Structure formats: structure tokens, C-alpha cells
Amino acid sequence: MLPLEGVTVVALEQAVAVPFATRQLADLGARVIKIERPSGDFARAYDATVKGLSSHFVWLNRSKESVVLDLKTSADQRRLDALLGKADVFVQNLAPGAAERLGFGSERLIEEYPRLIVGDLSGYGGSGPYQQKKAYDLLVQCEAGVVSITGTEAEQAKAGIPVADIAGGMYVYSGILAALYERERTGRGSRFEVSLFDALGEWMGYPYYYGNYGGSPPARTGARHPAIAPYGPFTTGDGAQVFLAVQNEREWATLCEGVLGRGELVDDERFADNPRRVAHQDQLAEVIESAFASRTAEEVLARLDEAGIANAQLRDVAGFAAHPQLAARDRWRTVDSEAGPLRALRPPVTMPGREPRMGAIPRLGEHTEAVLAEVADD
């Protein structure tokens, strides 16, 4: 038995954030009924790279039941109400104000269904001057300051994955779990709100404190860390790059003596503590790369491992997919889809003796008839 078996979630969802949250619930055994408009979740058409299916949709929607409703019609509004009467959770991320206009605002739902947990996700929250502003991942990254601190000195960059959507989805997921736990004690449902802006704002905590109290924001330093050194990429004798990270003075001394063979650097005034190493990052890189110049990347990584200095290879997406750690820990599974079997990673939370639910990715409207038959007489 999985932890959320017996929990029914009705999700009026689209794109990334809420589908990401509800997929985590489905992985843990919840029944997730995905309500789609007749044209479908628009993430279905983002691309066609997965045997004709969208990479985003495949990632976010396994183990769900797809039900098509046209909520502009009173008949389908009644059908959704009937589903909510049997549900534990209702969550939505429509455009600002759309759920209320359709008659599915949280205030009415909580009053009509006292045990229902209602979660709303929006771009900027239910009040304030940005309340009605449309919000997509890149735009929220801009407003939250993420783009200003990402990239190189010469050019800003967005994060390579949709961090605003993922942040929002994770807080919706944890909000639902917290509300389910509270209902176990009180017997009553509740409502909560998450905004992409607030979620990503929480993840901007370190840059905020660094900049607000330090006088200037973290610099854009590419793959280097702006506030810790050495922490980032260094070129080896064969032209490859290795990444290493030193977190404290003990590790710095170990790197100097055990890896670089330059014990005198421990007492070098330029590198005597982390703030001074950050201030002299270019000189520090020259010293480290000079020591690495006679060794291959494989040799350097071996010496770092032997010394207990954290390190990594720079892998591309294909390299990640073939990562030996994933294979050794049996992290891959197969899920079904209308395009055939697809490989998927197991969820990060591992429960000994219990296999996560990893059901098929639904076709548009695949479960409409069966699900609506359950409430036909309501």
C-alpha cells in the first residue's frame, strides 16, 4: 500500500506547475483525475520529441486519468461539482480569476464541501498590483531576480529548467500534504494559495540576504560560485574540465597539500580565507590549473576523490541518462503511453519495500466516460 492510496485529487490543471505537484501525489498512490478542456492541456503540444508526444507532458502526467469537460457549459460544470463531492483535494492553476468566473472559487467550494482541500496556484497571488498579470516561468524568473544573477558577467541567462514552475509545484505538493494531515486531526478541509512569484522568491533567499546586507548582489560568474572559492570548473592538461568545491579551511588545506602539492598556498595572504579567495578568483584559478596542467581529467578526479575533495564531471543530458549511479541503484522504470513504452526515472523519495505507482500517460479524454459514469446519478 502506498501512503496516499484512497485519496482522490481533482486537478483543473495545465502546463507545468500544478501537473508537477499532482504527479508527485499520483506517484504516492493518489487517484488524480485530470480535467482537460476539449482541446487538451496545451502542454500536450509543446513539442513532439518523445515518439510524437510532448516531453513536458510525458514528464508531468503519468498515472493520471484524463477527463475532458467544457466548463463553459452548465452541464459540465455540474459534472465537475459531482466529482468534487467525492474528492479529497481540488487544485487549479487557470488564468487569474478564471476559476471564480466558472463558479469554482475556493470560498464557495470550502463552504459547499467542508472536507475538501482546495489549492489555488497563480503567478503573483490573489491580491496586489500584479494579481491579474499573466505569468510564465521565464517572466517570473525575471521578476524574482533569478535572471539578474544567472549567466556570465557579459550576459544574463535564465535557468535551464523551469525553476519557477517547479518551485510552485513543490509548494502546492507540500501544501496538499500539510492540509491532508491537518484534516486527519480536525475533520475539516481547508484552502491554500501558492504563487510562482512567492515560491521562487523563497528560493532567492541567499541572494537577497547577500545583496541586501552585503551592499551588492552576487556577481554573475558563469559556472563558478559567486560567494565560495574554489567552487567551479577548472581545466586539466588534456583540455577537459573538472568541477570541484571547497567548503571550509580544512578542505582548502587538504586541496593545497594533498592534491595540488602546494602546501605553501595555505598561508598565502591572497587565499587565507574564503572572502579573500573569492576576491582573487582569477589568480586562484591560475594556480589550480597550473597544478592540473600535467594531469588528465581522469587523474585529477582520482586525486580529488582520494583526498576527499568534492568533485564532479560535466555531463550533458545524454551523459546523465547513461549515468552509472542511476543504473547501479535501479532508478529506471518503464511507463506506458499511446506512443508505446517509455523510460522514466523513479521518484526521488525511496520507500524500502514499496514501489511507486508509475502508470500510463493518458490520452486526451481517455477516462472521460468511465469517470463520469461514477457520478452519473449525482
CATH code assigned at 144: 3.40.50.10540
The helix or strand, by DSSP H or E, that contains position 64, with its residue range, turns out to be strand 64-68
Residues 14 and 160 in one domain: yes
Q: Clarify whether residues 244 and 346 are in a common domain.
A: no
**Rounded to 5 degrees, what angle do the CA atoms 36, 37, 40 make?**
70
Q: Are 332 and 345 in contact (CB under 8 A)?
A: yes
For residues 78 and 122, membership in a common domain is answered with yes
Say if residue 282 is in the same domain as residue 354.
no
Same domain, yes or no, for 355 and 255? Answer: no
Task: Write out the catalytic residue numbers.
Answer: 225
Q: Are residues 99 and 71 in the same domain?
A: yes
Whether 348 maps to a domain, the answer reads yes
> What phi and psi, each to the nearest 5 degrees, are found at residue 151?
115, -155
In a domain, 224, yes or no: no
In a domain, 219, yes or no: no
Q: Is residue 49 part of a domain?
A: yes
Cell of 36: 482537460
* pLDDT on residue 377: 74
Residue 34 and residue 169 share a domain: yes
Q: Cα 268 from chain centroid?
A: 41
Contacts of 102 (CB under 8 A, 6+ apart): 71, 72, 77, 94
> What is the pLDDT at residue 378?
66
Q: How far apart, in whole angstroms, are the C-alpha atoms of residue 260 and residue 240?
A: 17
Query: Closest Cα to residue 10, out of 55, 64, 46?
Result: 64
**68 and 191 share a domain?**
yes
3-state DSSP call for residue 90?
A: strand
- Taking only the tens of pLDDT, the chain with its 378 residues reads 899 999 999 999 999 999 999 999 999 999 999 999 999 999 999 999 999 999 999 999 999 999 999 999 999 999 999 999 999 999 999 998 999 999 999 999 999 999 999 999 999 998 999 999 999 999 999 999 999 999 999 999 999 999 999 999 999 999 999 999 999 999 999 999 999 999 999 999 999 999 999 999 999 999 999 999 999 999 999 999 999 999 999 999 999 999 999 999 999 999 999 999 999 999 999 999 999 999 999 999 999 999 999 999 999 999 999 999 999 999 999 999 999 999 999 999 999 999 999 999 999 999 999 999 999 876
Domain that holds residue 237: 231-314
Are residues 197 and 236 located together in one domain of the fold?
Answer: no
Classify residue 196: in a domain, yes or no: yes
Instruction: Tell me the helices (H) and strands (E) count for the chain, helix number first.
Output: 16, 11
What string of DSSP letters covers 189-249?
Answer: --EEEEEHHHHHHHHTHHHHHHHHHHSSPPP--TTS-SSSSSEEEEE-TTS-EEEEE--SH
Same-domain pairing of 101 and 174: yes
Verify that 267 and 192 share a domain, yes or no.
no
pLDDT for position 321: 96
152, 183: one domain: yes
Paired residues of 193 in beta bridges:
120
Cα–Cα distance, 65 to 362 (Å, whole number)? 6
How many domains are contained in the chain?
2
The pLDDT score that the predictor gives to residue 181 is 97
